[in-house]
Amino acid sequence: MGNGSITRSQVWIIIPAHNEAQYLGRFLTKLHQVSTRTVVVDDGSSDDSWRIANNLNRHNLRHCVNLGKGAALKTGAEYAFGQLGAKAVVFMDSDDQHDPADLDKFFYQLKQGYQVVLGVRDLNNTMPAGRRWGNTIISLAVRGLFGVYLPDILCGYKAVTRAAYQRLKWRACHYDVELELAVRLATSDLSYTTVNVNTIYHDLDRGMTSLDAMRVLFNLLGWRLVV
């Protein structure tokens, strides 16, 4: 392992947002109680997300058109590592489903020297059934094709160091970014660990569904051929 003792002041939070005006303000207010080192990437929103971000947050970036979650994460990470001097970043969703109180778990594991920290939700009790099964199928498929079992691949709550980001840098622009990150991690020698995270589901019809999960499964065979 070994990150050169990353401190929490060297970790920035990357928040992709697309039409999240309903939740973004509440989420940022809670998040800033834990960390104000936050970068919001408005991914071509047509609602008030950009205005809310500018009212509450200092570092905000904007895509003129919607490019997808993967693109927003990359925009935020490049800015944090390139302009803010971050040694690590934590990715969090902007829909108030990730609990900022769990950030201390990520900070701790980064300080311990892990290069990647993966958030893992309670798949048995809190996750809607369709998402739970889709998530489990993807994890089993990755293990079958790449020999590594990564729980809750579709969870967007994760941390990567600067060095890990350079090796994991993805091409996916949309929700399949989570799958590509898992494949790249499974085929690397990067040190990683998992932490349990709380999740609140506000809208069961939003985010990645079981159908989305099934679609990204088709990409696995392509990845197996090129990785």
Q: What does pLDDT average to in each consecutive run of 10 residues of the chain (227 residues)? A: 80 98 97 98 98 98 96 98 98 96 97 97 69 77 86 93 96 85 94 93 56 62 57
In the prediction, which pLDDT does 128 show? 66
10-226 CATH, one of 3.40.50.300, 3.30.420.10, 3.40.50.2300, 3.90.550.10: 3.90.550.10
Residues, the chain = 227
Alpha helices in the chain (DSSP H): 21-31, 49-56, 69-83, 103-111, 129-146, 162-168, 177-186, 210-226
**Across the chain, which distance is largest between two alpha carbons, in Å?**
47
In the prediction, which pLDDT does 139 show? 85
Taking the model in full, what pTM does it have?
Answer: 0.89
What is the token pair recorded at 178? 């989570």
CA 46 to chain centre: 22
Phi-psi region of 18 (alpha: psi -120 to 50; beta: other; left: phi over 0): beta
Phi-psi region of 92 (alpha: psi -120 to 50; beta: other; left: phi over 0): beta
The domains of the chain are located at 10-226
Task: Identify the CA nearest to 66 among candidates 49, 85, 83, 87.
Answer: 49
Q: What's the rounded Cα separation, in Å, for the pair 190 and 200?
A: 30
Other CB atoms within a 10 A radius of the CB of residue 155 amount to 24
